[in-house]
Amino acid sequence: MWKVLKQIGRNGIRTEPAPQFDDALRVAAEQIQREILDILGQALAIRQVDAGSCNGCELEIHALGNPYYNIEGLGIRFVASPRHADMLLVTGPVSRHMETALRRSYDATPAPKVVVAVGDCGCNGGIFGQSYASCGGVASVIPVDVAVGGCPPAPIEILRAILTAVRRGRQRQPSSADHAAGREPENARAGSGN
């Protein structure tokens, strides 16, 4: 236990500021009323659906949970069922074999719901395109609110897309622990590669 505490104490808090939302990522007109977005924006439950990706996007979505992005610190949680979710975070291309499962996940998500398509393949099918086995982008199967390209998009871009979907723009303030350690978030980023 002592070693665990020492390790935690030595590393301190590494969380960096969340990105500002970006309306350029929106693909659909506002489907949801402002006041509902305010509620979703406070505590968001996300169901991630891999509809046929190469698993590259999943690696970067996983990274959102690491201490640098600390997505749970923003009140955002990945949940185990679409029935518990406010948002579907979908990677693609949508394979023909996942088409039904994706539709069912969408239908099982209670309204109001938002959909974020992740990655070049989620946007338009990417290098796999449309074929006997691929339906192409997520929007060819379910309605999409926000889409973020990239192969895969960096975690910060995925986080930006999630925050854009719920129009959440508040910057997280640097925590008091950062000040106590005499460390600015920028320094933590610059030092991270060494």
Partner 1 sequence: MRLAGLAFDLDALAAPLPMARTTVDAAQWQAAAAAVAQSGGRLVSLWGSDRRGGETGALVVSVAYALRDGLAWLDLALPETAPRYPDLSALFPSALRMQRATADLMGIDTEGAGDRRPWLDHGAWPAGFLPLRHDSKYGESAPRAEAADYAFVRVEGDGVHEIPVGPVHAGIIEPGHFRFSVVGEKVLRLEQRLGYTHKGIERRFTELDPLEAHRLAGRVSGDSTVAFAWAYCMALESAVGSTVPERANALRALMLERERVANHLGDLGALANDAALAFGLAQFSRLREDWLRLSRDAFGHRLLMDCVLPGGVTAEPGAAALQRMRVQCNAIETEARALLAVYEEHAGLQDRFMTTGRVTPELAAQLGLTGLAGRASGQASDLRCDHHWPPYDALEVRMATRREGDVAARVAVRFDELFESLRLIRALCARMPAGASRTPLALPAQAAFGAGWVEGWRGEVFVALELDASASIRRCHCHDPSWHNWPVLEHAVIGNIVPDFPLINKSFNLSYSGQDL
Residue ranges that bind partner 1, judged by CB under 8 A: 3-4, 7-8, 11, 14, 48-63, 65-68, 78, 80-82, 93, 95-101, 105, 126-129, 131-134, 151-152, 154, 192-194
CB of 80 to partner 1, least distance (A): 4
CA 28 – CA 11 distance, rounded (Å): 42
How far is C-alpha 155 from the chain's CA centre?
A: 8
Residue 145 pairs in a beta bridge with: none
Residue 35 is which amino acid? Answer: E
Nearer to partner 1, 53 or 164 (CB): 53
Task: Name the phi and psi angles at 68, rounded to 5.
Answer: -70, -45
Find the shortest distance in angstroms from Cβ 117 to partner 1.
16
Residue 38 or 66: which CB sits closer to partner 1? 66
Nearer to partner 1, 182 or 193 (CB): 193
Measured from the CB atom, is 66 or 187 closer to partner 1? 66
Using only the alpha carbons of the chain, give its radius of gyration. 18
- Counting every residue, how long is the chain? 194
Rounded to the nearest 5 degrees, what angle is found at the Cα of 82, between the Cα atoms of 80 and 85? 90
Residue whose entry in the numeric block shows the structure tokens 């505490």 = 5
For partner 1, give the closer residue by CB, 68 or 174.
68
Give the C-alpha distances (Å, rounded to integers) separating 90 from 110, 174, 184.
16, 30, 34
Shortest CB 71 distance to partner 1, Å? 11
Q: How far is the CB of 190 from partner 1 (least distance, A)?
A: 10
CA distance 183 to 185: 6
Residue 141, both tokens: 């199967």
Question: What's the closest the beta carbon of residue 152 comes to partner 1, in angstroms?
Answer: 7
Instruction: Specify the residue, 20 or 131, whose C-beta has the smaller distance to partner 1.
Output: 131
Minimum gap (Å) between residue 135 Cβ and partner 1: 9
